[in-house]
A and B are shown apart, each in its own frame.
Chain A
Amino acid sequence: MDNSVLLKVNQLKKTFIKKSGTVFNRKKTEVYAVNNVNFEIKKGEILGIIGESGCGKTTTARMVMRLMEESSGEILFEGNNLCTIKNAETNRLRKNMQMIFQDPYDTLNPGMRIVDILMEPLNAHEKNLPSNEKLKRVIEAIESIELKPAEDYLYRYPHQLSGGQRQRIAIARAVILKPSFIAADEPTSMLDVSVRAGILNLLLDLRKKMGLTMLFITHDLSTASYMCDRIAVMYQGRIVEIGPTKKIIQSPSHPYTIALVSVVKDLNYFIENREKLILDGEVDSTRKDTGCTFVTRCPHQEKVCHSKAPEIEALGNGHAVACHCHSNWLEKTS
């Protein structure tokens, strides 16, 4: 494996079984939450995954963090296949991979003080550190997330902090072990707009200082374009387009991405082309695995889209898209 790649995900798949019918006539339908996802993250890079609710972005992150078992596929982290190693080994590796969760009101135990919350990772991975050394690490971590003076926060309970401060504490908990990889699952979506920028800048800052690699999950294209080096667009469990942020924003090639980008980019363009851009139709994740998943809502569909699933296809410069006919209609529209 390439040395510069920290995390590589191969053919990752997660299916849930949906039961229906009576006792005698039980039907089991497979629902694809994540379907053949491939991506890799280089050291020091931020890869963004964007997509609508239920498209599988959080499921992907949870599988990478081993909070959920995959159905098939492999996840390589620093050369270790996380899907096959034992639990004890996984726990050891968790020292290098940490997660920031979406809801700062839920992710900190309301009965624990900030100092106990931040001690938890140290107690799990650096048991032998003397307690004054641990306290020093905790204070350092609080200072690194720009809550000063740190001593003021040590003995508070989470309910005495604001949403932004809580999220900062959650970030401190993730970075206190100095991990090499962080998965951030929509870290700003539950926060007021006014504190979002602060949190995003803090993450960028930490990345610069600590050389962090990040998997950044969001449903907000503007957040993603601000944070990420590369963006993967997910739709119904598949990555439909992946590439450098600039490429995705400036020359999106998948009809879904175009719809997303146009809303943010240019309101005038969006209003003029409403019919072409507004996505109709239903999202049905139980449908059979023939044809393109986007076909029910795609404005440019052709015959082949109904019968064959598109493979992801490289366009050069690290940009790739999964669409049968992107070349045809791109010419038409431009």
Chain B
Amino acid sequence: MEKQKWKRYWNVISSNNLGLLGISLLVIFLLIALLAPLLAPFDPTARVGAPFSKPNGDFLLGTNDIGQDILSELLYGTRVSLLIGILAALISIILGCLVGIVSGYYGGKVDSFLMRLVDLVLVIPFLPLMILLAAFIGPSFWNIILVISLLSWASPARVIRSQVLTLKTKGYVEAARSIGTSIKVILFRHILPGVIPIALSQFVMAASHSILIEASLSFLGLGDPFTKSWGTILYYAQARGAFLTDAWIWWVLPPGLLITTLVIGFAFTGYSLEEILNPRLRKER
């Protein structure tokens, strides 16, 4: 039974080119992150060549200002960017789901209170506060995750609440109530499955968002200077003037392209997951 189910899911994914592309991209990035020590030709923290080398046989993407191999930096950076993106998105979606479901299902005063809180978080100027927070609590891996998730749960909460509001009035929720099903079961079996497709697409958006925010914070020098993420690579590239010389081709472009590709991978995966969880979106075969 279970096996059949997974087989059916796989059929849905594999019949969708975009989904397949998205999943392949994510799998590739995941493999890169996991196998970074095997793939990377050098230790990214070691000085292995002359500073500012152009790409050559030994260093495919050249070296940076202190002679570290940029390719190895990028491969290891996948780990940090991916992890921060996923963790921050996960925390903000869980928070958003919780607030959205409680607010939407119970309504009334609880709803008003939580939604005013959401409004408060939403109207705060995002980037300045983030910069302030990051600067104030200090740059570290976990602080970055905390800052991102603390400021990005509000819009998923709002979207999920609105979905719960429409789900609540569905006939099958009312039918479940008239049957005598407990609230716990109603929330888990009827409301949550209806929320998951939206939560997933929100997760995808939040994950790509988090990756971008991490990159921009690091680029501004507010990330942890000792962890090598794509953002910090860009930060050093900018600080050492790579934007003004030929070096942008091998120092600035690759991390930028990687960030874009990863974000696209998340988006495409989100679409096909949505199709699995909402049978009505499936094409008849």
Which of A66, A95, A120, A157 has the most chain B CB within a 10 Å cutoff?
A120
Beta-carbon contact of A121 and B174 below 8 Å:
no
Residue of A nearest to B177 (CB): A67
A124 and B180 within 8 A (CB): yes
Interface residue B56 (Cβ < 8 Å from any Cβ of A): no
Question: Which chain B residues lie closer than 8 Å to A67 at the CB level?
Answer: 174, 177-178
CB < 8 Å: which of A92, A111, A120 contacts B179? A120
Q: B residues within 8 A CB of A106?
A: 170-172
Complex: how many Å from CA A67 to CA B180? Answer: 10
Complexed CA–CA distance, A260 and B174 (Å): 31
- Tell me whether A99 and B190 are in contact (CB under 8 A): no
A95 to B179, CA, bound (A): 7
A67→B175 CA distance, assembly (Å):
9
B128 interface residue per 8 A CB criterion: no
- Number of contact residues on A: which range applies? 20 to 34
Q: Convert A237-251 into 0s and 1s, putting 1 for each residue whose CB lies closer than 8 angstroms to a CB of B.
A: 000000000000000
Chain A residues, Cβ within 8 Å of B193: 109, 111
Judging by beta carbons under 8 Å apart, are A94 and B170 in contact?
A: no
Question: Do residues B175 and A95 form an inter-chain contact, with CB atoms below 8 A?
Answer: no
Number of interface residues of B (CB under 8 A): 21
Q: Does B280 contact A (CB under 8 A)?
A: yes
Q: A98-B178, A120-B179 are in contact. Are A109 and B280 (CB under 8 A)?
A: no
Q: Do B279 and A121 have beta carbons less than 8 Å apart?
A: no
Q: Across the interface, do A124 and B179 meet the contact criterion of CB distance under 8 Å?
A: yes
Find out whether the CB atom of B172 lies under 8 angstroms from the CB atom of A94.
Answer: no
Given contacts A123-B185, A124-B185, A157-B279, whether A107 and B172 have CB atoms under 8 Å apart is yes
* Other-chain contact of B182, A91, A121, A159 (Cβ < 8 Å): A91
A65 CB–B CB distance under 8 Å = yes
Asked if B181 is an interface residue, CB under 8 A from chain A, the answer is: yes
**Residues of B contacting A294 in the complex (Cβ-Cβ under 8 angstroms):** none
Indicate if the CB atoms of A120 and B174 lie closer than 8 Å: no
Q: Tell which of B179, B277, B278, B280 touches A121, judged by Cβ atoms closer than 8 Å.
A: B179
Contact present for A108 and B172 (CB under 8 Å): yes
B171 engages A159 (CB within 8 Å): no
Residue numbers in B under 8 Å from A121 (CB-CB):
179-180
A106 to B177, CA, bound (A): 14
Q: In B53-97, which residues have CB < 8 Å from any A CB?
A: none
Per the 8 Å Cβ criterion, residues 160-186 of B in contact with A are 170-172, 174-182, 185
- Would you call A265 an interface residue if the criterion is a C-beta within 8 Å of the partner chain's C-beta atoms? no
* A99 near B180: Cβ-Cβ < 8 Å: no
Partner of A124, one of B172, B174, B182: B182
Residues of A within 8 A of B277 (CB): 111
Choose among B171, B185, B194 the residue that contacts A111 (Cβ–Cβ < 8 A): B194
Query: A125 an interface residue at 8 Å Cβ cutoff?
Result: yes
Is B182 within 8 A of A101, CB to CB? no
Nearest CB in chain A to that of B279: its residue = A157
Which of B189, B277, B278 has its CB near the most chain A CB atoms (within 10 A)? B189
Question: Is B178 within 8 A of A94, CB to CB?
Answer: yes
How does the 8 Å CB contact mask read for A109-124 relative to B, with 1 for contact and 0 for none?
1111000000011011
Contacts of B179 in A (CB 8 A): 94, 98, 120-121, 124, 173
CB distance from A224 to the nearest CB of B (A): 22
Interface contact B180-A91, CB-CB below 8 Å: yes
Distance, CA A112 to CA B185, complexed state (A): 14
- The 0/1 profile, CB within 8 Å of B marked 1, for residues 69-103 of chain A is 00000000000000000000001101100110101
Chain B nearest CB from A166 CB (Å) reads 11
> Does A120 contact B176, Cβ atoms closer than 8 Å?
yes
By CB atoms of chain B within 10 A, which of A103, A107, A123, A125 has the most?
A107
Q: Tell me the nearest residue of chain A to B179, going by C-beta.
A: A121
In the bound complex, how far is the Cα of B175 from the Cα of A107, in angstroms?
6
| Contact present for B185 and A99 (CB under 8 Å) | no
Contacts from B to A (Cβ < 8 Å):
170-172, 174-182, 185, 189-190, 193-194, 277-280
Taking A106-B170, A107-B174 as given, write out 13 further A-B residue pairs in contact, using a Cβ cutoff of 8 Å, ordered by the A residue number. Answer: A67-B174, A67-B178, A91-B180, A95-B180, A103-B171, A106-B171, A106-B172, A107-B172, A107-B175, A109-B170, A109-B172, A111-B194, A120-B176
Pick 14 A–B contacts, CB within 8 A, sort by A. A66-B178, A67-B178, A92-B180, A94-B180, A99-B178, A101-B174, A107-B174, A120-B181, A120-B189, A121-B179, A124-B180, A124-B182, A159-B279, A173-B179
The 3 closest A-B CB pairs, nearest first, are A106-B171, A94-B180, A107-B171
